[in-house]
Structure 1
Amino acid sequence: MENVFLSSSFDRSIQILLVLSSNCSMGTEIHSSYGSLIPRITISPSPTRISTTFNFSSSGYSRRRLVYGCSCSNHQVVTEELSISTYNRRIRYCCRTGGIDEAMSILAELDSLGSHPDPLSYVSLIETLNGLGRTLEADALFQEVVRFGLHGSYPLRLYNALLSGYLRKGQLELALRVLDHMEIKNVEKNQETFEILLSYYVSAGRLEESWRVVNEMKKRKVPLNSFVYGKIIRMYRDNGMWKKALGIVEEIKEIGLPMDVEVYNSIVDTFGKYGELDEALQVLRKMQSSSDPKPNISTWNSIIRWHCHHGAVDTALELFTMMQEQGIYPDPRIFVKLITLLGEKGNWNMISRSFASIECKEHRDTRAIYAALVDIIGQFGSFHDAEKLVGKLKSEGVAPSANMFCTLANAYAQQGLCKQTVKVLKLMENEGIEPNLIMLNVLINAFGTSGKHMEALSIYHHIKESGFTPDVVTYSTLMKAFTRARKYEKVPEIFREMEASGCTADRKARQLLQNALMVLDKRH
C-alpha cells in the first residue's frame, strides 16, 4: 500500500481503517473542524473505497478530500481539493439563476463543514431573499454576517439590501434598526441608501421623513438626481400642491439636469391625479415625438390608471392598445383595473378582445397570469378555486412571487371575495413567501368591499402587531371600509391615527374624512 502523508498522531488509526476496508464493506469519512478530527463510519455496498475528509474552517484553508480506492491486487490514492471559492461561486450562480433554495442548501453544507461564505456571497443571498419577500431568512443571514464580522468590502450593499427588503414589506421599525447599526459601525449612506429611504417615505405618505432625507442629501452634498426630483414632485402632488410640483421642472432645467423618464412619469402622475388628463396626454405625446426619453411601463401604467380612475374607460382602452403596439405589455394590476371596469359595464366582449391581443404577443408566463385574471374577474367558472388557479399558473411555468400573489388577491378583493383573498394569502405563505404590506392592504380592501368592517379593522391591528408600519393606503382603505359600512364616526378617529403615525393624508383620505364629517353634521 502506498504511504499517504497524514498527521502523525493519526497515522496508525488511518492505517487500521484501511486494513479493515479490505475485509469488509465499509466507508469512512473523517472531518476536521478547528483542528480536531472526528471519524464518521458508514457502511457501503462494496469494499472498494474509503474517503477521508479534512476541513479547516479557518480562512485560507480549503476543503481537502483524500480518497483511497482499493481493489484486491493494488491500491490507488486520489487527492481531490474542493476550495471554499467553489462553494461561493456555486452560491452566487444559484442566486443569479433563481435557484435560491439550492443556494441555501449549499450554504447549509458549507456551514456543516465549519466554514462560511465570503461577503459577496452573503450579499447575493440577502439581496435574492429580500427580492422574494423572504426577509426573515435575509435578516438571519445578516445577523450571521454581523456575528462573524464578515462584512469584507461589501457592508453597504448588505445594509442597502436589508433596507430595501424591509421597506418593501412595510417593516419600518426593522429598517430603522438597520440604520442605527450603520451609524454604530460608521457606515456612511450612499446615493442608493437615500433613494431607498426616499422612495419608501414618499409612497407611504410620510412627508416629514421625506424632506428630512432630501435635506440630509443636500447637507452631505449627495447629488439630487432626476430620481430624487421625481420624488419631490410626488411629495408636492400628494399634498395638493400640483402647480408647485410642476414648478420643479423649471428648477431642473435651470441646473441643467437632463429630463429623464422618472421626472416625466412624475409629471404624468401629477396631471393624472388631479384630473388634468389632456395635459397628461400632451406629456406622453412629447415623450414619444421628441428626443427625450421614451415612455416606459410606468408611464403607460400611470396614464391608463388615471383615465380609469376618472371614468375615461374608452381612452384607457385606446392607450392600452397603443402601448402593446409599441412593444410594451401591460402590468397585470392595470389589466385588473381595466377588466373590472369593463365587467361593471357588462362589456365582456371588450375583455375577450383585449385578452386575445395580449395572448398573441405576450410571453408564456405572463399570458398565464392574464388568463387567470380573466377567470377571476370574468367569472368564467374557475375563479372560486384559488388553489387550483395558483396550481395552474405553476404548471404553466409561472414562478410564485409576492407580486403574483398580490395581483391575484387584488382581483378577488375588488369583488369582495374575502374567502378567496384569504386563500391566496395562505397559498403565498405555503410557498415560503412572507406576506407584505401590499397583501395585507389588499385583505383590508377585500373585507371592506364585502361590508365586513370589523374584519378589516382586525387586519389593521394585525399589521401593527406584526411589525409592519401602516402607510397612507392602509389608512385610506380602512376609512373606506367604515364608510361603506356607514360607521362614519370611526373615520375621523382613523384619520387622527394616520396623522399621529407621521403619514400625510392624500386627496382620497381627505375626501373620505370630509364626507364622513358632513354625514355626522347632518345627524346632529
Structure 2
Amino acid sequence: MAKWSIVKRIPVYGGSFTSMKHMVLAPAELSWSCSFSAMHSLTNTGEEDEELLKKMADNGSKLTSKIDYTNLVEKYRRDGNLSAAYDLLQSLQDKNICLPISVFHNLLAAAGEQNDMKLSCRAFRELLVQAGKPLSSECYLNLARAFINTDDCIHLLSLLKEVSESSLPCRLIVLNRTILAFAETRQIDKVLMILEQMKEWQCKPDAITYNSVLDILGRAGLVNEMLRLLSSMKEDCHVSLNIITYNTVLNGLRKACRFDMCLVLYNEMVQGGIEPDLLSYTAVIDSLGRSGNIKESLRLFDEMKQREIRPSVYVYRALIDCLKKSGDFQRALQLSDELKNTSSSDLAGPQDFKRHLRPSYRR
C-alpha cells in the first residue's frame, strides 16, 4: 500500500503520515510526458479539452503546469475513467506534484459512486494530508459508499491503520467519524470490523468509539451484539463506562423490549456509583411499567421527583397507560390529575433529551 515520506514536508505515498502542520507543496514546474495511452483516452473532448489537447501538442505532448494536470485529472473523472485518474495521480506523486484539494473532493465523490475502493482511499488520504483536520461528513460518507457492494476491506483497513499510526492530532476523530459513516450507510459488519482492528492499532478506541457503536447496534436492534460489546468494553482497561454508555444500552434494550435486562443494568449502574439522569429514569420506568412491574416503576418515579429531576409528559403517559392496563384506575386518575396541574416549566421537554450519544466533532 501507499505510504507517506517527507521531502521538504512534501507528501509522498509509500509509508505513514508525518506531521500535517505547515505542509508546503512541491513546485509545479516539473513536467511529465503523457503516455500514448493517456493521449489516446482523450476522446469526445469539449471546447475546454480541445484547448488542453492543443497546449499538449504545442509542448511536444508535455504538461508543464499544475493547471494542466488538474484539467487532465478532471477530464478523466468526467469521462468516468477513474483508473486513468489513479494512474496519473501515482505518476504525479512520484514527482512530488500535488493537485488542488478540490480535485480530490471531486475524485472522492466519483469513487464513492462507482464503488472504486482504491481511488476512494487514495483521495481520502490526500484530503487528510492537505486539510490536516477532520473532513466534512460528506467526505466520510463518500468513502463509506465505495465499500457498500464488497467485503474486500484491504484498502480501507490499510488506510485507517496509517491514520492510527500517524501524527495527526485528530486521528481518533477521523477513525470515529469513519465508523459513523459506515453505520449511516448500513454497513454494520464493517463497523464492528473497524472497532476490532482498532483494539490492535496504536490509536485505541475510546469511550466515544464504544458508545457510538453501542448506539449503532441498539438502533439496528442487534441487542445481543450490543450486550457483547458492553462486556468487551468492561474488559478494556483503556476506557470506563459512563452515564452515556448506560443510557445508550438502556434505551436499546427498551426499544427491543428486553425489559428483563433493563432493571439489571440500571442496578449495575447505580451500584457502580453512576447516578441516573432523566434519560436513565425514563428508559427504566417505561421498561418496568411495560413489563408489569408497576410497583418498582412508581418507586423510581417518586425517587426521580425527590431528586428534583423533572419528569416528562412521556413518562406520565407511559405510567398512566400501564396503570390502566393493570386495572389500577384510581392511581391512573391521580397521575392524570397531577399531570394536568403541572405547569409546562416543571416538565422535561425535548431539549432535555438531547444529550448526544454521538459526538458532533464540530471543531
TM-score (norm 2): 0.53
1:19-68, CA deviations, whole angstroms, 9 ceiling, x for partnerless residues? xxxxxxxxxxxx96377xxxxxxxxxxxxxxxx97225324256987444
Please name the residue that 1:479 is paired with: none
Pairwise CA distance, 1:111: 4.7
Q: 1:169 aligns with which of 203, 212, 220?
A: 220
Matches within 5 A, 1:350-389: none
The answer (yes or no) to whether the contact 1:226–1:260 under 8 Å persists in 2 is: yes
Establish whether residue 101 from structure 1 lines up as the match of residue 142 from structure 2: yes
Please name the residue that 1:307 is paired with: none
In structure 2, the CA distance between the partners of 1:32 and 1:241, relative to structure 1 (3 Å rule), is closer
The answer (yes or no) to whether the contact 2:277–2:309 under 8 Å persists in 1 is: no
CA distance in 2: counterparts of 1:149 and 1:113, whole angstroms: 11
Pairwise CA distance, 1:160: 1.1
- In structure 1, stretches of 5+ residues that fail to align are 1-30, 36-51, 300-524
Please name the residue that 1:459 is paired with: none
Amino acid at match of 1:33: K
CA distance in 2: counterparts of 1:127 and 1:183, whole angstroms: 22
1:408-442, CA deviations, whole angstroms, 9 ceiling, x for partnerless residues? xxxxxxxxxxxxxxxxxxxxxxxxxxxxxxxxxxx
Q: Higher RCO, 1 or 2 (CA under 8 Å, sep at least 6)?
A: 2
Question: Helix, strand or coil for the counterpart of 2:345?
Answer: coil
1:323-367, CA deviations, whole angstroms, 9 ceiling, x for partnerless residues? xxxxxxxxxxxxxxxxxxxxxxxxxxxxxxxxxxxxxxxxxxxxx
Count of residues in Structure 1 that have an aligned counterpart in Structure 2:
245
Question: Helix, strand or coil for the counterpart of 2:309?
Answer: coil
The answer (yes or no) to whether the contact 2:182–2:190 under 8 Å persists in 1 is: yes
Please name the residue that 2:49 is paired with: none
RMSD over equivalenced CA pairs, Å: 4.4
Matches within 5 A, 1:310-321: none
CA distance in 2: counterparts of 1:113 and 1:222, whole angstroms: 34
Amino acid at match of 1:178: L
Q: 1:222 aligns with which of 263, 274, 277?
A: 274
Please name the residue that 2:174 is paired with: 121
The answer (yes or no) to whether the contact 1:268–1:283 under 8 Å persists in 2 is: no
Matches within 5 A, 1:194-343: 194-242=246-294, 244-254=296-306, 256-261=307-312, 264-275=313-324, 282=337, 285-286=340-341, 289-293=343-347, 296=350
CA distance in 2: counterparts of 1:192 and 1:142, whole angstroms: 18
CA distance in 2: counterparts of 1:157 and 1:178, whole angstroms: 13
The answer (yes or no) to whether the contact 2:243–2:274 under 8 Å persists in 1 is: yes
Please name the residue that 2:236 is paired with: 185
Please name the residue that 1:148 is paired with: 201
1:246-287, CA deviations, whole angstroms, 9 ceiling, x for partnerless residues? 343332233x322142xx412211212444686676465445
The answer (yes or no) to whether the contact 1:65–1:79 under 8 Å persists in 2 is: yes
The answer (yes or no) to whether the contact 2:289–2:297 under 8 Å persists in 1 is: yes
Amino acid at match of 2:345: S
| Larger strand share, 1 or 2 | 1
Please name the residue that 1:33 is paired with: 3
Please name the residue that 1:55 is paired with: 13
Please name the residue that 1:47 is paired with: none
CA distance in 1: counterparts of 2:288 and 2:63, whole angstroms: 83
Pairwise CA distance, 1:188: 1.7
CA distance in 2: counterparts of 1:170 and 1:216, whole angstroms: 22
In structure 2, the CA distance between the partners of 1:159 and 1:79, relative to structure 1 (3 Å rule), is same
Pairwise CA distance, 1:171: 2.1
In structure 2, the CA distance between the partners of 1:232 and 1:61, relative to structure 1 (3 Å rule), is closer
- In structure 2, stretches of 5+ residues that fail to align are 32-58, 67-95, 100-125, 148-152, 165-170, 354-363
Establish whether residue 130 from structure 1 lines up as the match of residue 200 from structure 2: no
The answer (yes or no) to whether the contact 1:230–1:266 under 8 Å persists in 2 is: yes
Please name the residue that 2:108 is paired with: none
CA distance in 2: counterparts of 1:110 and 1:128, whole angstroms: 15
Pairwise CA distance, 1:102: 4.4
Pairwise CA distance, 1:131: 4.6
Please name the residue that 2:46 is paired with: none
Please name the residue that 1:24 is paired with: none
Structure with larger Rg: 1
